[in-house]
């Protein structure tokens, strides 16, 4: 999570917290800088970050090797300003957080379900990564600009 403890907390939720939410967390953190605290979690955490997520993020200069799969329960007692779900199951299972101001659902296909050889799977992981990067980088830059203008 980002270091600025006074910044609003944005929580990105997915079911397993192993692929999409981890990528989104990294891109949003990179784009927003210290204007947001960013975390990700899962409604049913897998307990690991998918190795192909780590690999495709490394291709764009982001290291997820120390990331861990977390439960949304770790955040129930925190002041979450914005919740963003990136899969339908997490959207349905998402609780309301005290003080929560915003909630968005931006769904992405789950690359963990990719089949075939490794190169085919990597292609799917890259496509999803690039979609997530476009959405979360734009959101993060927008939030950063709003803080500058305030």
- Closest-CA residue to 94 (of 131, 104, 139, 111): 104
**What pLDDT shows up at residue 2?**
46
Ordered by start, the domain boundaries in the chain are: 9-135
pLDDT in tens, the chain (150 residues): 445 678 999 999 998 999 999 999 999 999 999 999 999 999 899 999 999 999 999 999 999 999 999 999 999 888 899 999 998 765 566 666 666 678 899 999 999 999 999 999 999 999 999 999 999 999 999 999 888 786
Is-contact 128 20, C-beta < 8 A? yes
Please give the positions annotated as active site.
14, 87, 94
Which pLDDT belongs to residue 5?
77
Regarding the domain delimited by 9-135, which CATH topology (the fold level of the hierarchy) does it fall under? Rossmann fold (3.40.50)
Residue 136, judged by CB atoms within 10 A of its CB (0-12, 13-18, 19+), counts as: buried
């Amino acid at each position: 999570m980002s270091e600025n403890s006074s910044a609003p907390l944005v929580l990105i939720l997915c079911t397993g917290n192993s692929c999409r939410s981890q990528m989104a967390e990294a891109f949003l953190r990179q784009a927003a800088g210290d204007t947001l605290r960013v975390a990700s979690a899962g409604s049913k955490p897998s307990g690991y970050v998918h190795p192909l997520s780590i690999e495709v993020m490394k291709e764009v200069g982001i290291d997820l090797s120390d990331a861990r799969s977390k439960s949304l329960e770790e955040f129930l007692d925190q002041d979450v300003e914005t919740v963003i779900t990136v899969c339908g199951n997490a959207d349905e299972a998402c609780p309301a957080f005290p003080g929560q101001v915003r909630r968005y659902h931006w769904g992405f296909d789950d690359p963990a379900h990719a089949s075939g050889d490794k190169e085919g799977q990597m292609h799917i992981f890259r496509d999803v990564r690039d979609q997530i990067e476009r959405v979360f980088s734009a959101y993060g830059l927008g939030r950063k600009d709003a803080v500058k203008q305030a």
